[in-house]
Amino acid sequence: MLTSQRKALIAERLNRNGEVVAKALAAELDLSEDTIRRDLREMAAGGLLRRVHGGALPVTPALPDFAARQSRATAEKEALARRAAELVQPGAVVFLDGGTTTAALARALPRHFAFTVVTHSPTVACEFERHPTADVVLIGGRLYKHSMVAGGAMTLEAIRSVRADLYFMGVTAAHPVEGLTTGDMEEARTKRAIADGAAATWVLLTREKLGAVSPWKVMDTNAATGLVAAAGPDREQLDVYREIGVEVLEA
């Protein structure tokens, strides 16, 4: 098999299965594992896939800026928000991550009982301008404009003093093996700090984030309390997360 044919096959398998395992593909094609690994390295260098231990995963698409993300998959985000809002109880301290899905959650939170919201996102905080019962604590720091969240030493110091009942985390990708990941190293560090201080961490996921991997790991997927995920036609896509011990709430 020519190199171009192998690479076309690898691309097809990634598209169909969401992963390529080098050892299994080498055995199937009766080739050395080094040959497959070399193909994977070259394809990764060309931006065609992401190398991981033992094989490869699809490349996570580049994340658009915040304004562009506000208009993407709005109905899906609203469904996730309504499902996640059911987890909030009277008197709870709720930490909301930055992002357009958590902004949708802010709009969906109950208005008939009191609770406290903590966030390091000014855009999320603004969603509570007219909320009648939510007490809002806004954590400051240096603004990371792409995600509209505060970051840096000042932010981390304040976060470490918070003991939230619920943390609704936003990530750019969630893979059952590679974990919960995001596109920025400092954001990953901030998310870990919030999760460390929260009694429960729930991750809100649109369909495009399932089975994908971004460069910076926040934590193992089964370290989260659960996922609030968009229900699609392929329910087996969510079963792989349940198999590793993660509760999945479908929206």
pLDDT of residue 138: 98
Per-residue model confidence (pLDDT) at position 213: 85
Residue 162 structure tokens:
């918070």
- Residue 153, domain extent: 66-250
- Average of per-residue pLDDT across 225-233: 86
Q: What are 105's two structure tokens?
A: 């959650």
What's this model's pTM, rounded to 2 decimal places?
0.77
pLDDT by residue (tens digit) across 58-117?
877 655 555 555 545 589 999 999 999 999 999 999 999 999 999 999 999 999 999 999
Work out the pLDDT band at 162, boundaries 50, 70, 90.
Answer: very high
Q: What is the pLDDT of residues 168-207, one digit of tens each?
A: 999 999 999 889 999 889 999 999 999 999 999 999 999 8
Residues 74 and 25 in one domain: no
Q: Is 80 found in the same domain as 153?
A: yes
Q: Which CATH number fits the domain that encloses residue 201? A: 3.40.50.1360
Structure tokens at 3: 């190199």
39 and 80 inside one domain: no
What are the φ and ψ backbone dihedral angles of 66, each rounded to 5 degrees?
A: -60, -45
| pLDDT number for residue 211 | 86
pLDDT digit string, tens, across residues 9-37: 998 888 777 789 999 999 999 999 999 99
Is 143 in the same domain as 212?
yes
| Alpha carbon of residue 233 to chain centroid | 20
Contact status, residue 34 vs residue 22, Cβ threshold 8 Å: no
Residues 51 and 96 grouped into a single domain: no
Q: Please tell me the predicted confidence (pLDDT) of residue 72.
A: 56
Q: What is the pLDDT of residue 215?
A: 84
Q: Are residues 85 and 11 in the same domain?
A: no
User: In terms of domains, do 113 and 38 share one?
Assistant: no
Distance CA 73, CA 94 (A): 24
- How many domains would you assign to the chain? 2
Do 97 and 207 sit in the same domain of this protein?
yes
Same domain, 52 and 74: no
157 plus 211 within the same structural domain: yes
- Specify whether 194 is located in the same domain as 97: yes
Any idea what the CATH number is for the domain that residue 27 is in? 1.10.10.10
**How does residue 45 score in pLDDT terms, banded at 50, 70 and 90?**
confident
